[in-house]
């Protein structure tokens, strides 16, 4: 059953803690992305990776870090430097080819800072 999985579904963090959100895909997609969504807002890009061992900052990368050691996995770490981390975090993936850049999303992780 192909798809994108994210874990955990809900995550609670104390201020000053780093937390890591998991994203795994078995679609054989080359590119993966992390977005953040705040209530009533659109999606904002945090980081994206077009290929293993390479990634680029998106529009709101400050306070976040990522790694891409395997094609299937793109974990996101929310560090204590992120001032307002409470949000809905969405991971997506896509192929890398001409006219084939549709992005597909995982179910999301809802992070709350206590």
Minimal distance, residue 18 CB to another protein, in Å: 24
3 to each of 27, 33, 48, how far by Cα in Å? 6, 14, 18
* Least spacing, CB of residue 88 vs another protein, in Å: 8
Binding site for another protein (CB under 8 A): 30-31, 33, 35, 40-45, 48, 50-51, 58, 90, 94-108
| Shortest Å, Cβ 94 to another protein | 5
* Minimum CB distance to another protein smaller for 61 or for 80: 61
**Residues 68-95 as b or e (16 or more Cβ within 10 Å = b):** beebbebbbebeeebeebebebbbbbbb
**Distance, CA of 110 to CA of 21 (rounded, Å):** 10
Question: Shortest distance, CB of residue 41 to another protein, whole angstroms?
Answer: 6
Looking from the CA of 33 toward its CB, the CA atoms found within 13 Å total 20
| 17 vs 107 by CB, closer to another protein | 107
Q: Smaller CB distance to another protein: residue 9 or 83?
A: 9
| CB of 18 or CB of 26, closer to another protein | 26
Residue 30 CA to residue 92 CA, distance in Å, equals 11
């Amino acid at each position: 059953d192909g798809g994108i999985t994210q874990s955990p579904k809900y995550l609670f963090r104390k201020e000053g803690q780093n937390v890591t959100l998991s994203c795994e895909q078995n679609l054989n997609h080359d590119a993966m992305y992390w977005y953040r969504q705040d209530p009533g807002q659109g999606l904002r890009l945090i980081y994206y990776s077009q290929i293993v061992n390479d990634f680029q900052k998106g529009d709101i990368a400050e306070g976040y870090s990522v790694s891409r050691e395997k094609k299937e996995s793109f974990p996101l770490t929310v560090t204590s430097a992120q001032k307002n981390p409470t949000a809905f975090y969405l991971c997506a993936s896509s192929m890398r080819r001409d006219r084939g850049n549709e992005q597909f999303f995982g179910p999301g992780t809802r992070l709350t800072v206590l």
